[in-house]
Each structure stands twice: as C-alpha cells, then as structure tokens.
Structure 1
Amino acid sequence: MARFAIDLGEMPMSKEDQLQLQNELQSVALKHVARLGYDKPFAVKFPREWWGIILHPDLDRLGDIEAEIGKRLGAF
C-alpha cells in the first residue's frame, strides 16, 4: 500500500487556508481510490490528531495504522 505525506513545514497559512487545503487533499485521495473501483469496501478514517486521511481494506487494522503514522509524525 502506498503512503504519501505532505509537509509544508513552517509555511505561514491561516487556519482557514489549512482546513481548505486539508479538504482538497482528502477529496483528491478519495476520488482517485473511487475511480480504481475495488471490489471490497475500504475503511476510511480522518484522524483528529493530525491532518490527513487513512484508507485501508482492513477495518480491524485501522487503529494500529493510525497509531503507527501518528508515532512517526511525532518523531519529526
């Protein structure tokens, strides 16, 4: 499974602009996965601790994946 991250570092941006960018990036990811047309459903999670989206075919592993990504993000 591919993982993508975008880090804009210290780029000054208003809260409104940050939320708009988050919404647009999540929308692009969801649209792309929808076009791929998988036979099985995907679990979708919008984490509250960090901006992003997690898409995974295994709902049971979603919490572990979120924790792993959050831990890696915290290391930066």
Structure 2
Amino acid sequence: MDARRANSPLQAAEPAAWPPAVDDGWTDTPLTDAEWNAMPEAERQAILEAEAELDRGIFVPHEEVMAELRAMKAKFAAKCRS
C-alpha cells in the first residue's frame, strides 16, 4: 500500500463519521493499489488534499450542495420552458 494512504478514509475498515450515512454502494469501497496507481498524479493529489480538508473540517454540508443543485435545476427548467 502507498504509505501516503495508510491512514486514508479510503482504506478505513469501518466507515468514517463523514460522509453522511448515505449508502450509494461505492463510496466506502477501498481502492486497490493498482487502481490508485493507475490514476493521474494530479487526481491522486486532489484526493489527498480533499481528505486533508475533510480532516480539518473544511467541507460544504450535503444539504447545502443539494439545495444549490435544486436551485440550478429549477433555473435551467425555467429557462427551457421560456
């Protein structure tokens, strides 16, 4: 295993308290070393940075994201109707 991922939530045996308890069937599935290594370096770095932000409590709550998406959807639907 890549040493940088040793304490990663992607490798956790038990689901972390975050993200919210929504079982979409894949978010808690650990990546294999081959999958991790097949990713572009920029993508791996972005994941590690995002994990560090989550550890520091820096994230947008699910409810806020969904509210913004609903607003965007309504705006787009209104535009399509006109």
Larger RCO: Structure 1 or Structure 2 (Cα < 8 Å, ≥ 6 residues apart)? Answer: 2
- TM-score greater than 0.5 by the shorter chain: no
CA radius of gyration, larger in: 2
- How high is the TM-score relative to the length of structure 1? 0.29
Flag the structure with higher helix content.
Answer: 2
- How high is the TM-score relative to the length of structure 2? 0.27
Flag the structure with higher strand content.
Answer: 1
